[in-house]
Copies of this chain bind each other. A is one copy, B any other.
């Protein structure tokens, strides 16, 4: 069945892009059963009442609530130069399971801006494709220092391998916790950034023996944190 996203279910109609998709692309008709999520745990069955490609009306026939997960993952990552690689990573993180993705501006970051609207669309699409009822948050780019000073109330990790060969993330991540994991740019974090993170309670972790691209490291961290909780 087709799943649509409408953050305000009580409006009784789909948003314009979703309406167009339902009526123009999928050619759904009045009476067709659809599924809806509000991205806040609400999951609904509904019937189309008005096949309008601008404002497709529906009537909810059944509703249920999907609980939040017993753990939460916040990935903070320096965006890659190539936007495709970031978009791919965002899609995969949503499929696998994530609560929040932040982009951080580090000293050696090559990219200074991100297209947040495009990323939000990818998040919605991946949420629908993987049949989830919680919409992960994507946040604007923040300077590394701001991100560090605002990260509270969570198990905080920073991916960095040095001579001391830190423990693997999977061994330090206690199940059923709130996690923040920071992944640096291709040019890595600077010494000052690392010091700042350690002082704020971030623990250095390894993601395994392979040398990974930034976006692969982001996904590997999210997969490891999900696995620890499965």
Report A's interface with B, CB cutoff 8 A.
88, 92, 95-97, 129-132, 168, 170, 208-213, 216, 219-220, 223-224, 226-227, 230
Contacts and interface: CB of A to CB of B under 8 A. Distances in A.
29 contacts: A88-B88, A92-B216, A92-B219, A95-B210, A95-B212, A95-B216, A96-B208, A96-B210, A96-B216, A96-B220, A97-B208, A97-B209, A97-B210, A129-B211, A130-B210, A130-B213, A131-B211, A132-B210, A168-B230, A170-B227, A170-B230, A208-B227, A208-B230, A209-B230, A219-B219, A220-B223, A223-B224, A223-B227, A227-B227
A130 B230 contact: no
Of all A-B residue pairs in the complex, the 6 with the closest CB atoms, nearest first, are A223-B223, A130-B211, A95-B216, A131-B211, A208-B230, A168-B230
A96 to B, nearest CB: 6
